[in-house]
Homo-oligomer: A and B are copies of this chain.
Amino acid sequence: MEDKAQIQEAIKTQGEVVRKLKSEKASKEQIDEEVAKLLQLKARLGGDDGKHQFVLKTAKGTRDYNPKQMAIREKVFKTIVSCFKRHGAETIDTPVFELKETLTGKYGEDSKLIYDLKDQGGELLSLRYDLTVPFARYLAMNKITNIKRYHIAKVYRRDNPAMTRGRYREFYQCDFDIAGQYDGMIPDAECLKIVYEILSELNLGDFRIKVNDRRILDGMFAVCGVPDDKFRTICSTVDKLDKMSWEDVKKEMVNEKGLSEEAADQIGEYVSMQGGMDLAERLLQDQKMSQSKQACAGLSDIKLLFSYLQLFQVTDKVVFDLSLARGLDYYTGIIYEAVLTQAGVAPVPAEVQNGAPAEESVSVGSVAGGGRYDGLVGMFDPKGRKVPCVGVSIGIERIFSIMEQKAEASAEKVRTTEVQIMVASAQKNLLEERLKLVTELWNAGIKAEVMYKKNPKLLSQLQHCEESGIPLVAILGEQELKDGVVKLRVVATREEVDISRADLIGEIRRRTSEA
């Protein structure tokens, strides 16, 4: 089509532009731009002249979703969203980036993982790190004092990716939060009910929801003799108990964080405790723990929480676990985390397991987590007015990983389209007739496809249906056109019947209504 000589001339000219810029030591950006134009020209020539140095990949820690993965993703989202809606939530959306200062000082040690945008003039921006801080900013900015909302969106962390285990630098969070001044523990209990419902409905195997309270942790640290200024850093170390043994955690406390051996041992005793309402009652009587007002407030709330959880019928999966700490700075009360406990669905693919057998015993990790953060909105309000909040975030990427493996392991084919019927022809020169019929079907709201060829072979039309799971084919031929009918073929059974054109749409609807 294009005039080769003309393009070759343009390539020569553009090559000179690039050489000139390089000799003038122009900026890398400018040179890159012109080199790209050159490559573009070369690409228009096609063939070997068009060879590129492009690195064909997505950014580190990120991935594309192909149609099969999208089909699974949509199924998971549907389950989650319908649960959020069942509990009466509205939804909001916020921009993918925030003013940098909005995120500053909210994430403690994790702040270094925030992606910043380049300063191209104007405001300094960062990609959102979670959906909680933007939510708090939204509430303060719009002076909203109560709302129940969900937000499903991608967040960004410059973490070390472990993609086979579902840890990415770009990943979805599905957050549900309740903001407002309410009577204690009722919204908190509903958040746990929601986690319970979602994990049950997704059918991921058995799970546990661990519950603790920041005030219990702080009280525990106080009565164990941790200096005030070390609460947060010791808390970070306790948070590692799901990945490290107590011995290693203790070592970090004593050797790195300078805690006394005695204090560490006392903490060690508490963090090994797990139970239910009974444990909260026992600790309220505990000689040491009961000395802390904070701890007692937390323990009473745990008791109240469990009484609501009983009414919500979810206590069989919830456990009060004093080792649960959670890393983020902004939590002020109850905290929780859900983990899958069934070994059968570990999201570590076989190859990785073989390469590193130690991985096999590693827990799947948290698939949901959250807690109460009563101070965060106040950090954004010009007058420091607080809006109490509690929420939960579903860690969807790990769930995707598990669902994808399940889908791969199962024999059932995942359909990536919803096409009900293919409009095909048995003879040549029927393109016009096919386009007319498919127009009729589209206009009636039927999901239909037609091959973009003038004279496709019947076999290749049928093959396309088999491959993409299209259940019906409407076959047109000279005879059918004469008779005013369409040959309707059921792909699965190969059964064929003539249907009059007038009845076709009704017949398609009838045959695909349960699909």
A residues sitting closer than 8 Å to B (CB atoms) are: 1, 6, 10, 13, 32-33, 35-37, 39-40, 42-52, 54-60, 62-67, 70, 73-74, 85-99, 101-102, 104-106, 111, 115-120, 122-123, 125, 127, 137-138, 140-142, 147, 149, 154, 156, 158, 170, 178, 180, 182-183, 186-187, 190, 193, 197, 228-229, 294, 297, 308, 311-313, 329, 375, 378-386, 416-419, 431-432, 435-436, 439, 442-443, 445-449, 452-454
Once the chains are docked, how many angstroms separate the CA of A62 from the CA of B98?
A: 9
Contacts of A170 in B (CB 8 A): 95-97
B380 touches A48 (CB 8 A): no
A55 touches B86 (CB 8 A): no
B88 touches A137 (CB 8 A): no
B453 touches A183 (CB 8 A): yes
Contacts of A118 in B (CB 8 A): 115-119
A78 shortest CB reach to chain B, Å: 13
A117 touches B120 (CB 8 A): no
Chain A binding surface, main DSSP class: mixed
Contacts of A102 in B (CB 8 A): 54
Nearest B residue to A312, CB-CB: B439
Contacts of A443 in B (CB 8 A): 313
A54 shortest CB reach to chain B, Å: 6
B64 touches A94 (CB 8 A): yes
A414 shortest CB reach to chain B, Å: 11
B418 touches A85 (CB 8 A): yes
Please pick, from B56, B65, B92, the residue contacting A380 in the complex, using a CB distance under 8 A. Answer: B56
User: A46-B384, A118-B118, A180-B452 are contacts. A417–B86 as well, Cβ < 8 Å?
Assistant: no
Once the chains are docked, how many angstroms separate the CA of A95 from the CA of B397?
A: 14
Once the chains are docked, how many angstroms separate the CA of A384 from the CA of B98?
A: 39
Contacts of A87 in B (CB 8 A): 442, 447-449
Instruction: Please state the number of chain copies in the assembly.
Output: 2
A146 shortest CB reach to chain B, Å: 9
Once the chains are docked, how many angstroms separate the CA of A386 from the CA of B40?
A: 12
B39 touches A88 (CB 8 A): no
Once the chains are docked, how many angstroms separate the CA of A45 from the CA of B62?
A: 41
Once the chains are docked, how many angstroms separate the CA of A187 from the CA of B453?
A: 10
A445 shortest CB reach to chain B, Å: 7
A32 touches B101 (CB 8 A): yes
Nearest B residue to A67, CB-CB: B90
User: A92-B65, A93-B64, A419-B88 are contacts. A36–B449 as well, Cβ < 8 Å?
Assistant: no
User: A439-B312, A452-B178 are contacts. A378–B93 as well, Cβ < 8 Å?
Assistant: no
28 contacts between A and B (CB under 8 A): A1-B297, A10-B229, A13-B229, A40-B375, A43-B375, A43-B378, A46-B378, A48-B384, A50-B378, A52-B379, A52-B382, A54-B102, A54-B379, A58-B98, A58-B99, A59-B123, A64-B93, A66-B92, A67-B91, A74-B91, A85-B418, A86-B448, A87-B447, A87-B449, A90-B417, A96-B170, A182-B453, A186-B435
User: A445-B86, A453-B182, A454-B183 are contacts. A96–B154 as well, Cβ < 8 Å?
Assistant: yes
A68 shortest CB reach to chain B, Å: 9
User: A90-B416, A312-B435 are contacts. A67–B149 as well, Cβ < 8 Å?
Assistant: yes
Please pick, from B89, B90, B91, B452, the residue contacting A183 in the complex, using a CB distance under 8 A. Answer: B452
A231 shortest CB reach to chain B, Å: 11
Which of A55, A118, A170 has the most C-beta atoms of chain B within 10 angstroms of its own C-beta? A118
Once the chains are docked, how many angstroms separate the CA of A32 from the CA of B48?
A: 53
Contacts of A375 in B (CB 8 A): 40, 43-44
B86 touches A452 (CB 8 A): no
What 4 A-B pairs come out closest when comparing CB atoms?
A36-B105, A50-B384, A182-B452, A67-B90
Please pick, from B88, B138, B442, the residue contacting A449 in the complex, using a CB distance under 8 A. Answer: B88
A55 shortest CB reach to chain B, Å: 6
Please pick, from B10, B50, B140, B141, the residue contacting A383 in the complex, using a CB distance under 8 A. Answer: B50
Please pick, from B187, B297, B311, the residue contacting A436 in the complex, using a CB distance under 8 A. Answer: B311
User: A228-B6, A449-B87 are contacts. A51–B382 as well, Cβ < 8 Å?
Assistant: yes
User: A47-B384, A378-B50, A384-B43 are contacts. A138–B92 as well, Cβ < 8 Å?
Assistant: no
User: A43-B375, A57-B141 are contacts. A448–B88 as well, Cβ < 8 Å?
Assistant: yes
Nearest B residue to A83, CB-CB: B442
B55 touches A99 (CB 8 A): yes
A18 shortest CB reach to chain B, Å: 12
